[in-house]
Structure 1
Amino acid sequence: MSSERDPLLVAPSWNHENVQGLEETREKKLGPLEVSRSNRWAILGGIWIANFLACLNSTLVATLLPSISSEFNKSHQISWVGTAYLLATCAFTPLYGRLSDAMGRRGANQTAVLFAALGTLACGLSPSMNFIIAARFFAGIGGGGIFTTAAIITSDMFSLRSRGLAQSISNIFTGAGLGLGGPLGGLISDRYGWRAAFLVQLPLFLLSFVLTGYNLRYVTPGKGKTSKEVLKRIDYGGIFTTLAWVFSALAFLSYRYNEQLPWDDTRVISTLAFAILFFLLFLLVELKLAVEPVLVPSLLKQKIPVLVGINNFLVAICNFSIMYFFPMWFQTVMLSSASTAGLHLLPDSISMSVGSIFAGWFMHRTGKYRTITLTFGILPFVAAALITTLREDSSPTRLWFSIAPMGFGNAITLQTMLIALLAHIPKSTIAIGTGFSQLFKSFGQVGGVAISSAIFQSVLDRELRKRIHGPGSPDIIKRIRESARLVISLPPGLQRDVRDSYDVALKNVFVMATCSTFAAYIVRLAIPEKSLDESDPAIPHPQNPPVRSDVENVSDAVLRPAATSRL
């Protein structure tokens, strides 16, 4: 029987069953900063493996193209194997920012991994050139989403100050994928065939899918409750118009510059007109019609997101122009083998990993990003300028390591710019902000390949016509433009003219890349510093510790919040 001295509320007796039940309840409703250390590393392992595979695929295909084209006898279509992947990446990458809010992080990430895995499987089983082009498009739908969802998940699980350090480790996998894609693809293709280079990736895709499926279960606000709701929130108009205007622009550049058709040709005029029309429709849909547009008009009104987007666009143009055409310079001017030419990209990948770790450590230690950006952000310009001035008699050190500053500088730049963006937008918009920045990067990737290809083909045609004359010269020029591997087998006199022509054409591409990365540096000058400790809910102020309930005190015996730990 109770008396006046008995408490009105009796504290629960915390036995083993109580604690176990509490643990199960908390596990079901954990936020991203509360996941256990083991779960966090398992999640990171899953998204990093997927990052590695996505990067591997972007460079792997380049070494497989000769084998693929020779099997299907469709050399005139071979460029679309790479373009299809970039086209899909450009159109679908920003969508994953919205999907991460609508479907949840796990649903969006696993959707991306599933598309990439199925596309890769289809590539390995392709019965025709058209099929493999479609398969590469399918894989590209997931490839871009892997990067976006990985960045969003990392942003969820770490405080702003620690986020750069976590992202730097992710970039090691990115650099490894970019650096190993060419050599690994060539090695597997030579021994087991080009199909094996695709199929061997499937167990790693499965491992990534399992790791995230089992461990990525934290709760974030805004998750849609039904598949119907998710489907309603997709910006179909934005996706369609993006595909249409980018495809039309690529077709125009191909007809006008790759095939050298005159300006009054119907195909040139029509593709240019469609590119302009669909781009205007894209802007109309995104700014006026879409309920949840991938372009995010609210971010377009803010200075920092726009500057970061422009920077990403210009950096991607430089990166992809160099990545696609730097090995060709060694094949056509230095007459190196394809495998040796591809290895010249390896210093870039290694320095990218080193730069990522350095940037993450610096931001984690100082809580600043602007100093490191302005100090080391000029290195890509230095590297591009060095590449532009390479000669056949350049020292081995210059030939191998001129590209290294580019990887180091760009790793720092892209990482600090992502952190700068996240520091200047509300935490609730992290997902769509990340997708927004990736959209500009995707446009830059496509633009880098398309614009540099147009410059290269136009200048190469002009230089070859200037140097090669006589009977049969148009046919010889056409064959030389279509196959870089033909250069090494030409007679000495003709070979010298062709090597000089390739040198001039490729140097024009490198000059364009140099201008692009310098413009990106100028844009970054306008991005201000902001402390990474400001408005960070993961780090409570020491003078104002949060009020904790009895439930939270007991649960600490079982679960340690991720916000209190550091990589």
Structure 2
Amino acid sequence: MTTLKTTTPPNETRYVALAILGVMFGLLLSMLDGFIVGTAMPTIVGELGRADLLAWVVTAYALMTAVSTPIWGKLGDLFGRKRMYQLAITLFIIASILAALAPTMELLIATRALQGIGAGGLAVSAFAVIGDLVPPRERGKYQGMTAIIVAVGTIGGPLAGGLITDGLGWRWAFLINLPLGIIAIVWTAIFLRIPATRQRDARIDWVGALLLGGSVAGMVLLTTWAGTEFAWVSWQSAAFVLAIAAAMTAFIRWELRTPEPLVPLQVFRSRSFTMASILGFISGAVMFAAVLYLPLFQQTVQGASASESGLQLLPMMVPVVIVSLVAGIVMTRTGRYRLFPIIGSASMIVGGALLSTMTADTRWVVTGAFMVFIGIGSGLTQQMTTTIAQNSVEQRDIGAASGVVTLLRTLGGSIAVAVFGSIFTTHTAGLTGHALSVGVADSTRVIFLIVAGLSVISLAAAIAIRETPLRGRQPASTD
């Protein structure tokens, strides 16, 4: 264990910034690959076939990202953040190469799952490294950087996927990760200065990982298949619910008695941490709903092209960047943060309600104005959840806490995609032409009414947070 200085020399501050920039490369890669295949999917199906498996190209990635995040968080706590980050990005690069070479849809899905495991490590490492290197009160400005990365990855993924697929072919959408990943490995090898120490008696909670993975997989599979493969009210759904409940109960009982739990459940004794977890789950659901279903509405109902619908997300993404940076600066100067998720949740309520009123005749300027509310809300809640969670736990649990919040944010997005996809399928199955446009419009209305309802829960969670002013110095010990 080492003791940190109470003041940070200018040179050290510069190296902290450079180190965090390095892990941001990895976060950008994980975000880009979550969305880059969307615009490449028709071409992939044209070459590999198996359109019935197409959704799993996205679902496999999201599922394994969600399942692996708390595992990577714990591995970083036990074996060192730098070592685990470089392992994660190496795995991500190898999986990207294999995905580019995949000769069948089944192998592509398998390599996407492997990519997702690496992406889970990249995502949680970025937030945990900030927690390790930056005093609590200064974390806001760096969390603002992560908001920019998330926004760039979210909107840049579909645009980059379309351009690369049209210009070079869909396989290059994966090969582009190779040079970027190598830059990240070299950069962090030079600038990321976290001791790669190992605890002597460190143990990985593989039983907990298996039980948690089974629970999360069951949730995603239920929300993916219910309404399409079988009815929501059916014996299959009931069997899934019972299996998920059994696995989650076993997971909680195991975590309470194992000496090295994957998820230290004591962090949930903090009301603020629990509320931050709820905020993270809902913010992930809201962002995925907006990014995936607004372009679908614009293309199918309003007649926009794929690239136009991507660009039309800018009124949502620009506010995400701006308010995240402003909130980070204010939080750094004042040490206060509770008001931001309250305002953000209220803004998402308004945005969801307004977007549910869209029709084929709604002008793009009006739709863009509605999106601004979602962008403001996401910017003030999504990344703030990590800061609140980290400030609510002991220094030794920062990695695990970051992993839990990242897990819930990813899980919220994964379940939202599945549930909203089921709603979409219900309203559009078998329809063509004008009837399809009407079905898409109806499903979009329902989806954004649900977004508004979820945001009401988010507002209640934000109000329930107990604010502890952020400390101006790092805790006394680190790994």
Normalised to the residue count of structure 1, the TM-score between the two structures is 0.78
State which of 168, 179, 204 in structure 2 corresponds to 1:203: 179
Deviates more, 1:512-521 or 1:393-402: 393-402
- Shift of the 370–208 alpha-carbon distance from structure 1 to 2, 3 Å rule, reads same
State which of 210, 223, 229 in structure 2 corresponds to 1:240: 210
Partner of 1:287: 256
- Asked if 1:175 corresponds to 2:151, the answer is yes
Task: Indicate if the aligned counterparts of 1:260 and 1:458 stay in contact, CA closer than 8 A.
Answer: no
Residue by residue over 1:221-241, the C-alpha shift from the partner in whole angstroms, topping out at 9 and shown as x without a partner, is xx4257xx65xx222122222
Task: Indicate if the aligned counterparts of 1:314 and 1:444 stay in contact, CA closer than 8 A.
Answer: yes
- Asked if 1:515 corresponds to 2:433, the answer is no
Residue by residue over 1:18-69, the C-alpha shift from the partner in whole angstroms, topping out at 9 and shown as x without a partner, is xxxxxxxxxx979596772443233122111111111111111111111111
Q: CA deviation at 1:273?
A: 4.2
Task: Indicate if the aligned counterparts of 1:359 and 1:415 stay in contact, CA closer than 8 A.
Answer: no
Partner of 2:129: 153
Partner of 1:66: 42
Task: Indicate if the aligned counterparts of 1:31 and 1:219 stay in contact, CA closer than 8 A.
Answer: no
| Matched letter for residue 380 of structure 2 | I
Residue by residue over 1:375-429, the C-alpha shift from the partner in whole angstroms, topping out at 9 and shown as x without a partner, is 3442122221221111221222112342122222212223333222233322332
Residue by residue over 1:60-94, the C-alpha shift from the partner in whole angstroms, topping out at 9 and shown as x without a partner, is 11111111111111100000110101110111101
- Asked if 1:141 corresponds to 2:111, the answer is no
Helix, strand or coil for the counterpart of 1:218?
A: coil
Residue by residue over 1:449-470, the C-alpha shift from the partner in whole angstroms, topping out at 9 and shown as x without a partner, is 1222222223444xxxxxxxxx
- Asked if 1:371 corresponds to 2:339, the answer is yes
- Shift of the 388–202 alpha-carbon distance from structure 1 to 2, 3 Å rule, reads same
Helix, strand or coil for the counterpart of 1:94?
A: helix
Aligned partners of 1:155, 1:236: CA distance in 2, in Å?
A: 25
- Shift of the 292–323 alpha-carbon distance from structure 1 to 2, 3 Å rule, reads farther
Correspondence list, 1:252-263, <5 A? 252-261=222-231
Instruction: State, as a whole percentage, how many aligned pairs show the same letter.
Output: 25
Correspondence list, 1:324-343, <5 A? 324-343=292-311
Correspondence list, 1:384-403, <5 A? 384-403=352-371
| Matched letter for residue 392 of structure 2 | H
State which of 268, 271, 281 in structure 2 corresponds to 1:313: 281
Rg comparison, structure with higher value: 1
Aligned partners of 2:240, 2:92: CA distance in 1, in Å?
A: 29
State which of 427, 435, 438 in structure 2 corresponds to 1:500: 438
Aligned partners of 2:312, 2:261: CA distance in 1, in Å?
A: 40
Task: Indicate if the aligned counterparts of 2:343 and 2:377 stay in contact, CA closer than 8 A.
Answer: no
Partner of 2:328: 360
Helix, strand or coil for the counterpart of 2:38?
A: helix
Helix, strand or coil for the counterpart of 2:227?
A: helix
Residue by residue over 1:264-318, the C-alpha shift from the partner in whole angstroms, topping out at 9 and shown as x without a partner, is 56x5555444334333333333334x43223321112221111111121122122
Aligned partners of 2:425, 2:230: CA distance in 1, in Å?
A: 8
Task: Indicate if the aligned counterparts of 1:176 and 1:350 stay in contact, CA closer than 8 A.
Answer: no
Q: CA deviation at 1:508?
A: 1.1
Partner of 2:385: 417
Partner of 2:198: 224
- Asked if 1:532 corresponds to 2:470, the answer is yes
| Matched letter for residue 75 of structure 2 | L
Task: Indicate if the aligned counterparts of 2:77 and 2:396 stay in contact, CA closer than 8 A.
Answer: no
Partner of 2:106: 130
Task: Indicate if the aligned counterparts of 2:320 and 2:375 stay in contact, CA closer than 8 A.
Answer: yes
Aligned partners of 1:201, 1:334: CA distance in 2, in Å?
A: 34
Aligned partners of 1:375, 1:263: CA distance in 2, in Å?
A: 37
Task: Indicate if the aligned counterparts of 1:319 and 1:448 stay in contact, CA closer than 8 A.
Answer: no
Aligned partners of 2:265, 2:231: CA distance in 1, in Å?
A: 38
Q: CA deviation at 1:531?
A: 1.8
Query: Gaps (5+ residues) in structure 1?
Result: 1-27, 462-476, 481-486, 488-494, 540-567
Residue by residue over 1:356-385, the C-alpha shift from the partner in whole angstroms, topping out at 9 and shown as x without a partner, is 111111111222112333334421222212
- Shift of the 438–170 alpha-carbon distance from structure 1 to 2, 3 Å rule, reads closer
State which of 80, 83, 96 in structure 2 corresponds to 1:120: 96
| Matched letter for residue 76 of structure 2 | S
Q: CA deviation at 1:515?
A: 0.8
Aligned partners of 1:47, 1:414: CA distance in 2, in Å?
A: 19
Aligned partners of 1:277, 1:379: CA distance in 2, in Å?
A: 37
- Asked if 1:430 corresponds to 2:398, the answer is yes
Residue by residue over 1:90-142, the C-alpha shift from the partner in whole angstroms, topping out at 9 and shown as x without a partner, is 11101122111211110121122122222222211111111111111111112
Q: CA deviation at 1:148?
A: 1.1
Aligned partners of 2:276, 2:176: CA distance in 1, in Å?
A: 37
- Shift of the 350–240 alpha-carbon distance from structure 1 to 2, 3 Å rule, reads same
| Matched letter for residue 517 of structure 1 | S
Deviates more, 1:275-284 or 1:517-526: 275-284
Deviates more, 1:321-330 or 1:201-210: 321-330
Task: Indicate if the aligned counterparts of 2:146 and 2:383 stay in contact, CA closer than 8 A.
Answer: no
Aligned partners of 1:156, 1:137: CA distance in 2, in Å?
A: 29
Aligned partners of 2:102, 2:190: CA distance in 1, in Å?
A: 32
- Shift of the 452–259 alpha-carbon distance from structure 1 to 2, 3 Å rule, reads same
Residue by residue over 1:335-366, the C-alpha shift from the partner in whole angstroms, topping out at 9 and shown as x without a partner, is 32222223332332222111211111111122
- Shift of the 428–260 alpha-carbon distance from structure 1 to 2, 3 Å rule, reads closer
State which of 252, 266, 275 in structure 2 corresponds to 1:298: 266
- Asked if 1:380 corresponds to 2:348, the answer is yes
Task: Indicate if the aligned counterparts of 2:224 and 2:419 stay in contact, CA closer than 8 A.
Answer: no
Aligned partners of 1:43, 1:537: CA distance in 2, in Å?
A: 17
- Shift of the 448–107 alpha-carbon distance from structure 1 to 2, 3 Å rule, reads same
Deviates more, 1:363-372 or 1:125-134: 363-372
Task: Indicate if the aligned counterparts of 1:119 and 1:138 stay in contact, CA closer than 8 A.
Answer: yes
Helix, strand or coil for the counterpart of 2:353?
A: helix
- Asked if 1:454 corresponds to 2:454, the answer is no
Task: Indicate if the aligned counterparts of 2:385 and 2:405 stay in contact, CA closer than 8 A.
Answer: no
Query: Gaps (5+ residues) in structure 2?
Result: none
Aligned residues: 473
Aligned partners of 1:300, 1:372: CA distance in 2, in Å?
A: 21
Aligned partners of 2:395, 2:141: CA distance in 1, in Å?
A: 19
- Shift of the 497–197 alpha-carbon distance from structure 1 to 2, 3 Å rule, reads same
Partner of 1:39: 15
